Structure 1
């Protein structure tokens, strides 16, 4: 291929930012300067410092903490996110933006300033309480519209309307109705509304892990993922596509946004794929499918995975461990299909001069230490909050070690700072007090940062990471606050049970039909909602329908979690695919169709682990798990060959139909289906080799590169 687009180079940072702003609502922020810009910068910094201090070191009552967390976010959203997208370019604030920001401060400060009085009233509201609570609801809805998008705002508003007009609903949805006072009281003065479980998780686990991701970016881990991927996979058949899959899976650990992941790694991988000979739409589709799957990849999954902790009541490590095999199968499926596509059109890997020296890349493996550390902390039973905190400190220290000339100084500074703090606390308290290890770790890290500031100015990276982490959290805070209102209505009206029963009845109590209807609902909701809000809604409404049919909680919740994420590459509204088309120059809908085809595993695997929970390592034996993996991978190979139309040679239509059918039989749990699938798999494989023998000595056609 030699068209002009194949000469594209990596996108500039400005182009990347423009694409992210275009397709990711949560990134469409004003570029502020002057006094307002400095004020926002230092407020974001204060937000992060507050979160670290009051989440880890000095804890305050939950309602106070969540209220301050919400107040920070609302104020910053009204300053950073314009009321209309066309105002984004101007970078100027209207008088109403300042007014809404001031009101947000008042709402955020109301609980801390009146905590004792509110608790003493035991649910009784004063007139001022009512006005502040009503204002909070309106501010959350407007902030959600600006920072997250209109769909979730409409959904939350409809739920509030349902709470009020319950008596006018159809028979299967009818309830006694809630008056305005009750709605306001539930939404703002209990932990069942705005300050419910979603915001609770946002104000603790999610924020700290977003900070962890921001520090990883500043450490240079993101670029290292690309270098490592090129070194390991670049020379293979269709190398750049495999680089995209590998690097995007790793990038998912530091990016909670499919769109941001697409633009960040895709600006590097998509031009490489096009230069090698992949079609524009296919190049974008590979990146979109792989980047979207980054949120499914442990150890750090999408923000919704942290909500699952509270909704199911299990530890995060159990969720990450359960999601490991499905995530591997997902990326295996994409890898297989890109490999077959590369063979089909005769593509080869990168040349030697395009691949970095593997030894030099492997010398920097220490940059992956924060990922290894976070896995170790989570697996060791440490709390999520402390795991995230230790991960952040590990990342800071690893970042400092990049400067070889200072590697001897930093460990000394860390040790001196940590030991000095521990000795000081031991003298003051007459012995080691609780938290001495955490305090020593914090003191050692601070001492190292201070030393780094005097030696190489690296302190600025730490500040930038704190600011960027807080900026990233704004959309999550708005989404979880709005989702909390939805949960509050569902809890107060019993809507969840009504809809679950209706869904089961509609599916005639058939598990596959119930799963199908749930999948459709999750995808439709996910097309306009962030993963966090989507998961809250579907786990509250749809997951109980699956559980009612005898499915365990974890598979049911992971089922809706998967399809909420896959909505980003499911046409007609496939934001990750559209962003990828912006990089590749391809047609957006075609890119989305190709991405959905490549990610076919994501549409199959959730059914598989619901019907066969052993795939989530639930009550699985070693040999049973090996057999499940073998049949699943064999099934993905067969489906990939059928979808692409190539294996060792061209796969004809009859073979393609048989391959897809045999692959589905292998993936579907059961001895009978496995037997049929293996027979079909073996038959097609044998036919491929028999005909392949006739082609020995005939080289595969190589697609020329521009």
Structure 2
């Protein structure tokens, strides 16, 4: 592929598909009996995962299989990895060498080792014997080789380094700061392969329970034709505007991000149509590719179906998936709004022509799109009412009745689709580009929204598990794929029903195969990342890394966040987003929270995990190894490195937002009311648009340097009104530790007191500080409120000493790193009680006045010079 990149030429459709498959699903595709066998294995894997996620899994599958589903999942992934991914570039693509068969089968057997020898392992207390340790070591080596093939060498190299540290961490050549006692082969293999601390840990469990179903859902939805429908609708709505192809690329990629969790596949799927049209209206090859990259990569952060890392957050943070997507919603939405604005400014700056001859106002377009999204959200929300009526009316038959009603709705929408021609992909290089008319094409794919409504309903309204929600949506897609062709033919009065049924079965089978092949890399990534997580839990190196980063940052939280972001970008050069997220969050998330507490800033754990997630996806953009940028350059024929730099510039908002929501958690909709949420959405949208204008050097016309600086300042104030207010009016009043009882007694329900606690560290003995947030709940005396929080305080000689919090109380885990039994006491040094402040929104007024002044100056300049420059 390197020679193709050097040539800077656009690749053919066949070469592009090869690029995607070699990156996401494996470049090898044997034919004949072997190809059929591998297709059957892929279909069986997909069907196994569907049954496993179903409510009937415990009745259909043996209990031993359900309990060891992680082993089964990894066995399929390892076997298919050696079948689909050649060992070297020179390895054959049309057949599978004997050694790959051997390693694939052996790897699958060892993955299932815990299932086959379950009783022996249980009898040994989960400890490896002499046979187990060698089997596990061979399993790890095969896993690393599979990961090297599917994910590139970086993942395997990092895992080997961590595993080497387990064995040789006590050697003299290991720096003192990270040296540990080391582990025997038996102990290490028990931890990594036999128990659920390593390879078969949380990450692989999430891949098994949740991720597979969502990847399969996307593959089936794409096979049904939803991808082409979404792109056509985006072009119909936006293609006629100035810079329309770029705006359509942004919206289309946001929609297809629902289908494809791969930024590379998203780039190629939408980019083959959008990039040539962007070039046609004046975007350079690099800018056209960069718009597509920035749009496609952000598809992973857009709810309700985010990247695989979002499902890992459910386990790592300990919150529901509904909470994850609630917190992620606002940053993702305003990020896409900003990207649309970026391409609008590019088009206006360069006075780009429009496509087609239709004239539709921007206001009507935005109003129509807003109405659609509001209507769709209202539909997803409103479905609960008829469902509750049905459940109340026929409780024993409610499932059957709802299934019939859903099928009736599907049949009605499919009949509507049959009244218009099926959508065919357009040729972006045609001499005359005929943009689709939304009013004419929308009927052809409305039924694609049904599985999405089912998914959102079960996730958000019923609040079922992600796996079960995806199961019901996938089950509906099974029905759609099998029936859409024959039913359409019947509605159109066509007689060739048998062939349409056969084609529908073929679509379903191919969708099942695509879903399985797309999961190979994710399955291996989560398993291999388990070795890294296992190393952290076995050796305790995480705390050492934390101390190192804290030392490098000098205790400065912003500098530490910069270091964490850089670590994510560097690791992301060789790791997929999911593996990158696992590694960095395992090492750094707790450290950021702890350092924030030491600095007096309470950082919610979900904010740190989203911070790592955002920088993990940025690695697909960032040169010199941004894979999505290379894929876009392969489509556009532009320079890959230059495309990556432009895409990074377009993605500055994705870099800035994580820093903002760490310090202003209102952006994550944490502890905000509906009214506050609306205000935050409006102010954040204005802020991101102004920030975009400031960094693009163009607002109403080309901005002067001082105007760009002022715009960025306005954006900062709109994003961080608390920063300004806190400097004008401190949010807390300081109280002597002895006054904590009076402060608690006077506090109202819902107030938060901040306790600055100082004491010796349990490991080092050095004095450290942290901040505890004591939330006052209900009525009661100060003593009762302290008891409810599990805090045992004793005042001696003017010092407010603290005993170890009772186990299971709110602060028992937070304070576990303090030594309560040393010579120096753990004590409360400061108490901060909430002080009255002006509403922070009041600072929006001067910020908006400054924005108005900039607009006035630029309008005056336009009037003097005649035309925006």
Do residues 396 (structure 1) and 478 (structure 2) align? yes
- 1:265-414 aligned at under 5 Å gives the runs 265-351=270-356, 352=358, 354-363=434-443, 364-379=445-460, 380-399=462-481, 402-403=484-485, 405-406=487-488
SS in 1 for 2:117: helix
8 Å CA contact 1:374–1:391 kept in 2: the answer is yes
CA deviation profile, 1:99-144 (whole Å, cap 9, x unmatched): 2122123213322222122212212333321221111111111110
**74, 77, 101: which one pairs with 2:78?**
74
8 Å CA contact 2:127–2:187 kept in 1: the answer is no
> How far has the Cα of 1:679 moved from its partner?
4.6
| In structure 2, distance between residues paired with 1:583 and 1:565 | 21
| In structure 2, distance between residues paired with 1:53 and 1:103 | 26
8 Å CA contact 1:10–1:271 kept in 2: the answer is no
| In structure 2, distance between residues paired with 1:21 and 1:113 | 33
- Which residue pairs with 1:486 in the alignment? 532
Give the total of aligned pairs: 649
**649, 652, 657: which one pairs with 1:597?**
649
| In structure 2, distance between residues paired with 1:627 and 1:54 | 43
**688, 692, 698: which one pairs with 2:858?**
688
1:692/1:400 CA distance change after superposition, 3 Å: farther
- The structure carrying a bigger strand percent of its residues is 2
SS in 2 for 1:381: coil
TM-score (norm 2): 0.71
8 Å CA contact 1:330–1:601 kept in 2: the answer is yes
- 1:68-467 aligned at under 5 Å gives the runs 68-87=72-91, 90-168=93-171, 169-351=174-356, 352=358, 354-363=434-443, 364-379=445-460, 380-399=462-481, 402-403=484-485, 405-406=487-488, 455=501, 457-467=503-513
| In structure 1, distance between residues paired with 2:112 and 2:673 | 53
CA RMSD of aligned residues (A): 2.4
TM-score (norm 1): 0.87
- Which residue pairs with 1:524 in the alignment? 570
Query: Can you give the 5+ residue segments of structure 1 that lack an aligned partner in the other structure?
Result: 1-7, 410-450, 702-706
1:406/1:9 CA distance change after superposition, 3 Å: farther
- Which residue pairs with 1:30 in the alignment? 28
- The structure carrying a bigger helix percent of its residues is 1
Query: Can you give the 5+ residue segments of structure 2 that lack an aligned partner in the other structure?
Result: 1-7, 359-432, 492-496, 597-601, 726-842
SS in 1 for 2:354: coil
**Larger RCO, structures 1/2 (Cα 8 Å, 6+ apart):** 1
- Which residue pairs with 2:68 in the alignment? 64
> How far has the Cα of 1:74 moved from its partner?
0.9
- Which residue pairs with 2:803 in the alignment? none
SS in 1 for 2:620: helix
| In structure 1, distance between residues paired with 2:107 and 2:197 | 20
> How far has the Cα of 1:695 moved from its partner?
5.7
| In structure 2, distance between residues paired with 1:647 and 1:595 | 20
1:406/1:340 CA distance change after superposition, 3 Å: closer
| In structure 1, distance between residues paired with 2:11 and 2:499 | 32
Do residues 45 (structure 1) and 43 (structure 2) align? yes
Do residues 503 (structure 1) and 583 (structure 2) align? no
SS in 1 for 2:698: coil
1:122/1:397 CA distance change after superposition, 3 Å: same
1:630/1:457 CA distance change after superposition, 3 Å: closer
CA deviation profile, 1:217-253 (whole Å, cap 9, x unmatched): 1110000110110111111221000000000011111
| In structure 2, distance between residues paired with 1:671 and 1:516 | 20
| In structure 2, distance between residues paired with 1:395 and 1:93 | 33
> How far has the Cα of 1:406 moved from its partner?
4.9
- 1:649-668 aligned at under 5 Å gives the runs 649-668=701-720
- Which residue pairs with 2:769 in the alignment? none
| In structure 2, distance between residues paired with 1:398 and 1:334 | 34
| In structure 2, distance between residues paired with 1:455 and 1:507 | 63
